[in-house]
């Protein structure tokens, strides 16, 4: 089955700096890659997603890039703010409506 | 509109007991998913419903776990003879049939003593 690896497991940045989280996946049939943000004790919330027919997608301070050949995708957060502090999960899915396989998560800490 | 809801929010039980966890998906969402999240880890897939039928139950760890969705809306995850290793947060998600985006509920924290 699909395997998703996520790095780093923890990331500490200064407010205003950029943060980058990377994920690799094993199944070349995967074609949908969402990113979720989970605050302590709360539900995972979708922040951005990308499909395999697109190489990059941006939404204000958040962007995701996808390299299908290398089977990796990355989350980029610019101008980080303390409220960006949370655990971020990447995931992969093989088709619309199918199960998600999650990475192990990255704890992002933004220091004011 | 209302998001995915789950009840109870917390459940403490003793080893060997039976528990039921409930999920109310977003109205109109035909797909429903159950995941399990252990402390410090990403959610792990358990089972997926499309309508009333289980489209994929390959993530259920053993036959103590069972889930139903009799009317294609509310779903119940049932765990028999609970073990301490079942302790985790059980997350439910729903999506519009045929679409990708899964919306998660707040989870049920299950503690087996």
**Mean per-residue pLDDT of chain A:** 95
Q: B2 pLDDT band (50/70/90 cuts)?
A: confident
Is B56 a residue whose pLDDT tops 80? yes
The residue of chain A nearest to residue B36, with distances taken between CA atoms, is A102
Taking CA atoms, what residue in B is nearest to A49?
A: B101
CA angle B35, B62, A32 (to 5 degrees): 35
User: Stretch A39-47: mean pLDDT, rounded?
Assistant: 94
Which residue in the set B44, B100, B103 is minimally distant from A93, CB to CB?
A: B100
Determine the average pLDDT of the residues in A8-31: 97
Q: Which tokens in the block code for residue A8?
A: 């780093």
| Contacting residues of A for B99, CB less than 8 Å apart | 96-97
pLDDT tens, position by position, A60-110: 999 999 999 999 999 999 999 999 999 999 999 987 678 999 999 999 999
Q: What is the pLDDT of residue A53?
A: 84
How much is the average pLDDT of B4-10? Answer: 97
According to DSSP, the β-strands at B31-37 and B88-95 are: antiparallel
pLDDT tens figures, B57-66: 999 999 999 9
More confident residue, B103 or B55: B103
pLDDT of residue A96: 61
What are the residues whose beta carbons fall under 8 Å from the beta carbon of B113, sequence distance 6 or more?
Answer: B12, B13, B14, B15, B84
| Contact (CB<8Å) B102/A100 | yes
Residue B1 is predicted with a pLDDT of 56
Tokens of B63: 């036959």
pLDDT one-digit tens code per residue, B64-86: 999 999 998 999 999 999 999 99
Query: Within 10 Å of residue B109's Cβ, how many Cβ atoms?
Result: 16
Tell me if residue B11 falls in helix, strand or coil.
strand
Predicted pLDDT of residue B99: 73
Interface probe, candidates A99, A105, A106, chain B, greatest B C-beta count within 10 A = A99
């Amino acid at each position: 089955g699909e395997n998703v690896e996520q790095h780093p497991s923890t990331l500490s940045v200064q407010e205003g700096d950029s943060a980058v989280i990377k994920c690799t996946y094993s199944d070349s049939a995967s074609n949908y890659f969402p990113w979720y943000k989970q605050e302590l004790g709360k539900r995972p919330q979708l922040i951005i997603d990308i499909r395999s027919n697109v190489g990059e997608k941006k939404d204000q301070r958040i962007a995701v890039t996808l390299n299908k050949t290398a089977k990796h995708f990355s989350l980029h957060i610019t101008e980080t703010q303390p409220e960006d502090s949370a655990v971020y999960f990447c995931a992969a899915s093989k088709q619309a409506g199918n199960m998600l396989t999650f990475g192990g998560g990255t704890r992002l800490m933004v220091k004011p | 509109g209302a998001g995915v809801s789950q009840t109870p929010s917390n459940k403490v039980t003793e080893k060997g007991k039976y528990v039921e966890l409930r999920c109310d998906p977003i109205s109109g969402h035909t797909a429903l998913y159950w995941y399990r999240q252990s402390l410090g880890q990403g959610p792990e897939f358990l089972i997926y419903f499309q309508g009333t039928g289980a489209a994929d139950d390959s993530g259920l760890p053993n036959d103590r776990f069972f889930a139903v969705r009799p009317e294609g809306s509310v779903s119940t995850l049932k765990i028999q003879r609970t073990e301490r290793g079942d302790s985790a947060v059980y997350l439910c998600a729903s999506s519009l049939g045929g679409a990708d985006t899964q919306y998660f509920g707040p989870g049920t924290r299950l503690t087996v003593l």
